Amino acid sequence: MTKEDFNKYLEKNYDELFSELFKYCFTFTNDKEEAEDVVQETFLKAIEYIDTYNYGNIKAWLFTIAKRTYLYKVARKKIVKTDTIDENQGEITENIEDRIFSELEKEKLKHNIEKLPTQLQELVLYVDYLHFTYPAVAKILKIPLGTVKSRLHHARILLKKEYEDK
C-alpha cells in the first residue's frame, strides 16, 4: 500500500478508526487527552512507516502501533532525568559530557530496540522499562512463562550484539 492509498483509506475510515483506537487507548491511559495524543501519534507513525505494512489486517496493525506508542510514552516518563546538586554550594555538579554521552547511549539503545521484532520489543518494554514481572508479562501477552524468558533472553542477546557491533 502506498502512502497515497493509505491516506485515501484514512480519509474514508478516519472517524471509525479514530473512535475504535481512542476506546482502545483510553482503556490503558484512563485519560482522554493522553488517549487522543496516542491515537494521533499512531496515525502519524502509520503514515510514516506504511512501507512496513505487510498487507494483513490494517486495523490490527494500527492497534499494534497504538500499543507500542503508548508503551514508549510510559517508558519515557519512567526514565527520570535528575541532576546531582552539591548541597554545600547549591551548584549542579553533573558533568555535561557525561550527560551528553548518556543521552547518546539512550538514543542508541532506543534505536536498537526499534530494530527488534515487535514481539521482542514488547517484552523489553514490559520487563526492562516498565519493570513488570515475568509472570505478569506472560499473563498480559497470553504466552507461557518459559516463552517470556526465552524471548527476552533472545532480545537481550540481539541488543548486546547490535551494541557491540557499533
Tell me the backbone φ, ψ of residue 18, rounded to 5 degrees: -60, -45
pTM value > 0.95 = no
Q: In CATH, what number is assigned to the domain containing residue 55?
A: 1.10.1740.10
Q: Is residue 90 part of a domain?
A: no
Q: Is residue 117 part of a domain?
A: yes
Cβ within 8 Å of residue 94, ≥6 positions away = 83, 84
Looking at the structure, tell me whether residues 63 and 122 fall in a common domain: no
Looking at the structure, tell me whether residues 47 and 100 fall in a common domain: no
Q: Is residue 88 part of a domain?
A: no
Looking at the structure, tell me whether residues 54 and 4 fall in a common domain: yes
**pLDDT for the residue 98:** 53
For residue 154 the three cell numbers come to: 533472545
Q: Is residue 140 part of a domain?
A: yes
Looking at the structure, tell me whether residues 137 and 164 fall in a common domain: yes
Looking at the structure, tell me whether residues 63 and 101 fall in a common domain: no
Looking at the structure, tell me whether residues 104 and 130 fall in a common domain: yes
Output the CA–CA distances (angstroms, integers) from residue 52 to 18, 43, 46, 108, in the order listed.
Answer: 21, 14, 9, 21
Q: How many domains does the chain have?
A: 2
Looking at the structure, tell me whether residues 140 and 71 fall in a common domain: no
Q: Exposure of 48 by Cβ count < 10 A (0-12 exposed, 13-18 middle, 19+ buried)?
A: exposed
- The secondary structure of 106-153 as a DSSP string is HHHHHHHHHHS-HHHHHHHIIIIIS---HHHHHHHHT--HHHHHHHHH
Looking at the structure, tell me whether residues 72 and 100 fall in a common domain: no
Find the domain containing 43 and state its range.
1-78
Distance between CA 155 and CA 161 in Å, rounded? 10
Q: In CATH, what number is assigned to the domain containing residue 148?
A: 1.10.10.10
**pLDDT for the residue 102:** 62
**pLDDT for the residue 39:** 93
Low-confidence ranges of the chain (pLDDT < 50): 80-95, 97
Looking at the structure, tell me whether residues 46 and 119 fall in a common domain: no
Q: Where a domain ends, among 47, 78, 109?
A: 78
Looking at the structure, tell me whether residues 39 and 106 fall in a common domain: no
